[in-house]
Structure 1
Amino acid sequence: MDIRTVGVEEEFLLVDPDSGTPRAAADAVLRQEPHGGDDGLLQNELQREQLETCTRPCSSMSELADQIRRRRHVAAAAARRQGVAIAALGTSPLPVRATVTPKARYLRMAEEYALTAAEHLTCGCHVHVAVESADEGVAVLDRIRPWLPPLLALSANSPFWQGVDSGYASYRRQVLGRWPSSGPTELFGTPAAYRTAIEELLETGAILDEGMVYFDARLSCRYPTIEIRVADVCLLIDDAVLIATLVAALVETAARAWRSGVPAAPVRTAQLKLATWRAARSGLRQDLVHPITGHPAPAESVVRALLDHTAPVLADNGDLVTVEGLLLGVLKRGNGAEQQWEVHQRTGDLSRVVAHAVSQTLES
């Protein structure tokens, strides 16, 4: 593929600008900005206390950065006109009783999945990367599996849950784990095997439709893309750009390996679950599971291994130096979870954690 385009979906909390408490304002925001204005696109989600932005497919890192920045500013302006603010937080630090968006599918999910749906006020960053075919897409899915936990560790931005410190850098990950079809996947091998796996899930009746296949990475139902869903929404624009660019490079690296006949690493799904749990628990604070050795290794060496793994593609695209700089920035200041913890340790006030996130959501 000459140009592998990338698109990003980001979910944000809608919060009271004074108290930091989530507000059920998505309906009002979308009524007065049904298309997001300025060619942006805003959408609602399962809960009315959140809003989703979607970029166009982008063919360069600079275009992607501009799109993410523009979408965040459009969403912030639309929210402000309804008396709320957007906050790039993976979960709400303050206690909240979320409300379901009154759409038929969401109401059915609320009924079927009970507390799992009622408590699912989480915000992620979903990255779509173009693929040429289902064959290439499945080959990529099989080859990126061990590299997804480091992306979660880098993006982790949800340490607080219902007013308490969860002890996890990404508690959003724990909440996602309640859904029946979430998490890492097995090796598929072929598109036919992938389709069989999806059909078998649907036949159980435990999920309502294919949109509820919440794998960490999946073939998109709507677009000719791979959708990587593992990351928390990132606090800073630069971090969102970093995650999306690494994901795109990871996809191209896997596609090149497939075309060269390099087999997918036979990592067991159980080991991937452990690596993902470790990334969610400690983020960048402690050891992670190394994608190549399967053994504990310092978080910095693991994320640098991800950079080394994708470096040839990043260099070909002219992005390597920029990505190195963005990665160094995260390692120096910490991910969103570290920044939330720091504000709370300094102030003892979760509303200040939310206020800090609101102020940083539009910053690079």
Structure 2
Amino acid sequence: MGVEEEYLLVTPEGVPAAQSPAVLGLAARTLTSTPQPGGDVEKEFKREQVETSTHPCTDLRELLEQVRAGRERVDDVAQGAGVRIAALGTAPQAVDPTVIPDRRAQAIRERFGLTAREQLTCGCHVHVSVADDDEGVHVLDHMRPWTSVLLALSANSPSWQGVASGYASYRSQVWGRWPTAGATAPFGDAATYRSVVEDLLATGTILDDGMLYFDARLSQRYPTVEVRVADVCLDAGDAALQAALVRALADTAVAAPRATGPRAEVLAAASWRAARSGLSGELVSPVTWRPAPAAQVVGELLEHVRAALEANGDLEAVERQLAALALRGNGAVEQLSWRARGADDLEVVRRATARTLGAPPAAA
């Protein structure tokens, strides 16, 4: 398993800054070609953000160490360009973001207009290895009901363009504007998955298969399933939690009969509920498909993957992280609590930078 994280680049004062070319240039000059914990520093769609990734891991503790190391490394490089990183799904203040100087990115901007121009969002992507595409599709079909719970756990974007959105994850709503984003119907097998991809490409709507923005997909670069539903997490431990749960969902799927689950329309409604209230209200239960308290639904996910977590040696760590998350809340809850204590946009970003790099949550 591995984790990719996208971060906002911000000034020390807390203003989003279009400094990714400078940061990437420094990274190319100062980071050696020898693989290091935390992986590479990479470009993203906007100049106001960068991405880093872990190397593949089997041990959850090692993965968490790599997430933390990656955050520290990219922040160290960013400081050389006069900026910091913040693990925020969206910026709290109004931003007019700029597309990177890349031919493909500029083509996307021209084709998709305001959707592309406004798309300054940061997510957390989890990769888990699979034996082949058929196993990968089996995993995709099986985990469909549970991706909304992963979103609720990670929700970390309550603001959009300077206003309170009323959502725990407004990033997911902005991301949903892309024509291929969101839940999918079950594919059944790899041949059907490839046929759907070919049909989408044949419409001429998306540029290439890199624009398949499903909540979960087969990776174009690695022999993995890539789960893309989560906001980037304020707390590094929550990013590792996402990875542990995704791996456990994949292992549970491999041991289970082929699943179909509900229609994509129902999954879309469940994702909307998760985006709206995160862990602070009701979610749609993947067991009953009825509203239930978020804590109950998270418990249902835990029970669904308990055997896999035990087999992987992850159960104790996952239970501990879920307990911590329930106590402090996800990133959206933390941001809103800072607001309630008088923090303005700049202070929210500064506190987010501190939390990104390991500062403990504020006392209740």
> Same fold per TM (> 0.5)?
yes
**1:168-213 CA-partner distances (Å, limit 9, x unpaired):** 0000000011100000000110111000100111011111100000
Distance 2:25 2:347 in 1: 30
RMSD, matched Cα: 1.1
| Map of 1:185 onto structure 2 | 184
Superposition TM-score, scaled by structure 1 size:
0.96
1:3: which partner in 2? none
Q: Say if 1:155 and 1:336, in contact at 8 Å, map to a contact too.
A: yes
- The amino acid across from 2:339 in the alignment is H
User: Quick one: which of 308, 315, 322 aligns to 2:317?
Assistant: 322
Alpha-carbon distance, 1:348 to partner: 4.5
1:326 Cα deviation (Å)? 0.2
Q: Aligned residue for 2:203?
A: 204
Where do residues 109-148 of structure 1 align in structure 2 (5 Å cutoff)? 109-148=108-147
- 1:354 counterpart (339, 349, 354): 349
Match of 1:285 in 2: 280
Identity, % of aligned pairs?
53
CA contact (8 A) 1:35 1:42 kept: no
Q: Per-residue displacement from partner, 1:239-277 (whole Å, max 9, x unpaired)?
A: 1111111111111111111xxxx2314311000000000
CA apart distance, 1:355: 0.9
Separation in 1 of the partners of 2:343 and 2:125?
A: 32
The 4+ residue runs of structure 1 with deviation greater than 6 A are none
> Is contact 1:36-1:42 (8 Å) kept?
no
Identify the residue that residue 268 of structure 2 maps to in structure 1: 273
Alignment of 1:1-364 (within 5 A): 6-18=1-13, 20-34=14-28, 37=31, 39=36, 40-257=39-256, 262-363=257-358
For residues 218 and 210 of structure 1, what CA distance do their matches in structure 2 show?
A: 11
Q: How does the TM-score come out when normalised to structure 2? A: 0.96
Unaligned runs of 5+ in 2: none
1:206 partner amino acid = T
Task: Give the length in aligned residue pairs.
Answer: 354
2:8 is matched by which residue type in structure 1?
A: L
Structure 2 CA distance for aligned equivalents of residues 263 and 47 of structure 1 = 39
SS class of match (2:139): helix
In the aligned structure 2, how far is the partner of 1:304 from the partner of 1:265? 22
Q: Is the 8 A contact 2:273 2:283 kept in 1?
A: yes
- 1:181·1:213 contact (CA, 8 Å) conserved in 2? yes
2:2–2:127 contact (8 Å) kept in structure 1: yes
